[in-house]
Amino acid sequence: MVPVRLELQNFLSYGTDAPVLDFDTFDVACLSGRNGQGKSALLDAITWSVWGEARKSSGKRKPDDELIRIGSRHMEVTFTFDVEGARYRVKRSFSRSATGKTTTSDLEFQLYEPDKEAYQPLTGAHQRETQAIIEDTVGLDYDTFINSAFLLQGRSDEFTKKSPSQRKEILVNILNLTRYEELAQGAREKMKVARDEAERQATEIDRLNEALEDVPEWKEERSTVQSEIKEKTDALESLREEEKALTERLASLRAKAQEAESVTATVKDLDERLASHREEVEELQKKIQGADDLLARSEKIQQEYERYEELQEERERLDEKRDLHRGIEKQIESKTSELERRRNELEKKLNRLQVERKNNQKNLKEIRPKLSRKSDLKEKLEAARNAKAKAKEMAERRDQRESMKESLSQIETRLVGMRQQLQGELDALKERIRREKKQLARTDALSEQVEAVKVKLERKETLDSKLEQVKERGTKIRETLQEYSGEVEARKEEREEAEATLERLRTSDGGACPTCGTDLTASHAEQVEETLQAKLRTTNERIKELEQNIESSKTKRERLLTKYREIESELKPLDGSAEKLATLLEQKRARDENVRSLQSDRQSAAELHRKLQEKAYGHELREKKKAIRKQMSEIAFDAEAFETLTNRAAQVDRYKEQLREIDNLEGRRDELERKIEDQERQIENLRESLDTGKAFAPLPKQIEQLEQQLSNVDFDPQRFGEVKNTLADLKEAAGRMKDLVNAQRNRDDWKTQRERVREKIEAEKEKRKELQSSLATLNEEIQGKAAVQNKQERKAEEVQSAETSLNELQKRLGMLDERLDQAREDRKAITAARKARKEAKRQQQLYKHLRRAFGKHGIPSLIIEETLPEIEERANVLLDRLTDGKMNVRLETLKDKKTGGTKETLEIIITDEQGVPRPYETFSGGESFRVNFALRLALAQLLAERSGVRVRTLVIDEGFGTQDREGIERLVEAIQAVREDFSKILVITHLQELKQAFPVRIEVEKDPVTGSSFDVIGV
């Protein structure tokens, strides 16, 4: 990380017009000024913008509240920096409400894209996510930064005074070894997955084996079921044959029963037809009897009919005369009515005109007083218009007040919403506190468990070490045994060869020597035999010695094997201690986090409770509410006066309407006067027409002519009445005559028809008798139908029962077949599961080795071991320069344990000019600063050169006041010596002699009003 640009506002002593610090103008600079002017504030601004951390009071979780400038409510820092050739910008802000009881913060992270010449956002969904992105980009956290490249004021001994484990943690971050933690965690997770898979497969194998235990019983049961199915099938076939015979017999009986029902129905139909024929005979007999009666009175009937015909002709002639008589009478009535109608119309018109004239005269009389009110209405209209204008002004004031009331209502609603929201947050916090307490109660014994597991882990490490030693000794013994056995075999071969040579020598009769090939003399033979005998003795002694050594080594091996088994037996309960410790530590970390979270939640809950009790929320709304009430009080509004004005203003339209009516009345007056004059002229003309009769002159003469025609018509109303009455008496004559004619025509036919119907009756009686006989026979045949049906039903039930039993057996057979098929699949599954379990165990063992390799005692430890000499060398080079070779520092990674053996550590050993190690606390302030400075500078160099993200910035804000002139010169020389390792170096001091050593200075001054400011000098 290389700084590029720093912009700050209201941060610590800097105000709103603080200048921008451009880092591109220098590589090494001295940040100087008097104490308290704001030098370190610039560095705090950098760390706060990137990590949200800076100077803070003890006990404070975050420093934000203490960093904002006194009297300000908003602070903001924008920091631009480069990482690995890319440019980034982070902007962090913090705001406090006017009351100071609520705060808000914001965080933005951006990447500069040269092609677009603009910054693109990298900000996450929330600040925690954005902070993680920033730290991932920078490559280290705040603690690592201030323990290496950033020597903060008052914290130069940050690294030296940390515990060994904390120092190793810092080195892990500087060397970017956290990836091994991730790899170890990944291996641990994969090992757990493999272990779970192996356990799952083992469980599956057990399950499958258990599932296969009943296979022999299933096979035996399947054979039994197949036999039962064959028996049941044969029995069912027999039952079905019996049921079929009964069913056929029952069907035959049912057919006969249906035939009997049909015959019964036919008999019933014949009975109905016989009854109908009898009724028909009776009806024909009545017709014949009626015809005989008519024929007996035929003469009288004919006379009455002839008299009826004569009177009917006379009635027709009288009807013609009556119609003519009535026509003339109607004309007379019509003309008379027309005369009366015309006379009445004229009289009505005369009366109507007289009434209209009278009404018009009355209306004219009523209009004249109304017309006199015109001037008064104009004055009232003007007054109403003035009232309307005033009412409009008051309505505006009323609307303003109503709007303010609505605003007040909305404010009240929002305040209630705020209170409900705060109450909801408080309830949620209370519930979370309850859960956290419950969770903490379950984890109270974690510390003791952690310590107990640590003891087990230390014991396991000791046993692992012993086990390795035993393995090494066992390997050496095995190699020794192999060497001894090999030598024994070789010696035995030598012995056999020597014995064979000696045998050949003894059996030789001269000739060549079997050892050297020369002539075998007696003396030479004796000498060779003696040599061979000596060699055999030596070889036998060596073989005996080797065999004793072999036995001794085997005894040692047995003792080692016993010891190995004892250690292994003791180690077995300790397996998984590391994983358990990691789990417990994670649980403890989570518990500690829960404790912090609980404290934070309690503080938040207390704060929310206080806000609710004191109503410390919605201050701006309450102020706005107060201001609105004040404005309302300043707007005068008299509701009663407004109502009076409104009522008066409402009369405007009425007065206008009345004036329009008066204007209309003036026109109406003129019209009425004209109508009255016209009506008087019409009345005079109508009176003249009625008196002279000229309006209906033709009608009287027409009436007279019609009366003369009426007297000429020969019509006797009396005779007309007699004829009418006689025809009424003879009205049945025509009907009787018609019946007589019908009787004369049909009497013989009716007799013939009666005889035919009687014959049908006799034939149908005979047929009915035959059907009754057939029905009796059928009823006898179906007498046993009920018994056959019962027998058939019982047999059907037997068949159904047999089928059900057979189906059950077939289902059972199918189920057994399925089980046996599944058993075959299970056998295949067992083979696959065993293979998978074997593979899972192999994976488990592999990831177990990888977990150990990636763990803190594996590769990271080796890398640290390799790196420490480099740090030690760098620190001693600087320390040699700073102390003129009088001090030396040594980093030790192993420490003897009281119980024996060693354990990993990271101790700092400091030796004085006599080469004697001394505790860090015994050195003076200047000496300890030089040691701290050398170590921190070595760490900063390491951080600047590490792979991955490189922090090529060094900031020194510490300790120069403890040095004399020579010490300061040596520090400056040391800084200048390492400047090539860093892109930017900042040295903060108020010492005049140190300022002069740097050509570029950032001079900081503080104004009591505008705050701190600075000037960059020497660029």
Residue 579 host element (H or E): helix 577-614
462: tokens are 């000791």
* Phi, psi values for residue 336, rounded to 5°: -65, -40
How many CB atoms sit inside 10 A of residue 629's CB? 12
State the binding site for Zn(2+): 513, 516
* Phi, psi values for residue 955, rounded to 5°: -125, 125
Q: How far is CA 75 from the centre of its chain?
A: 38
Closest CA to 997 of 149, 25, 306, 29: 29
Tell me how far apart the alpha carbons of residues 174 and 857 are, in angstroms, rounded to a whole number: 18
Contact 934, 880 (CB under 8 A): no
Contacts of residue 34, Cβ cutoff 8 Å, sequence gap at least 6: 990
For residue 917, list its beta bridge partners.
911
Tell me how far apart the alpha carbons of residues 16 and 855 are, in angstroms, rounded to a whole number: 50
Helix (H, G, I), strand (E, B), or coil: what is residue 226?
helix
Region of 5 (left: φ > 0; alpha: ψ -120 to 50; beta: rest) is beta
Burial class (CB in 10 A: 0-12, 13-18, 19+), 466: middle
DSSP string of 849-869, one letter each residue = HHHHHHSTTSHHHHHHHHHHH
Q: How far is CA 911 from the centre of its chain?
A: 65
Pairing of strands 917-918, 1011-1017: unpaired
* Phi, psi values for residue 554, rounded to 5°: -65, -40
Angle between helices 859-883 and 785-854 (to 10 degrees): 30
Tell me how far apart the alpha carbons of residues 418 and 438 are, in angstroms, rounded to a whole number: 30
1: tokens are 């990380």
Tell me how far apart the alpha carbons of residues 137 and 1 are, in angstroms, rounded to a whole number: 9
Q: Output the CA torsion 817→818→819→824 (10° steps).
A: 90
How many CB atoms sit inside 10 A of residue 407's CB? 15
End-to-end CA distance of the chain: 22
AA identity, residue 723? V
AA identity, residue 903? K
Residue in this structure with the two tokens 């007996």, named with its chain if needed = 296
AA identity, residue 491? R
Pairing of strands 21-22, 902-911: unpaired
Contact 62, 52 (CB under 8 A): yes
Q: Output the CA torsion 280→285→286→292 (10° steps).
A: 150
AA identity, residue 960? F
Tell me how far apart the alpha carbons of residues 232 and 240 are, in angstroms, rounded to a whole number: 12
State the binding site: 513, 516
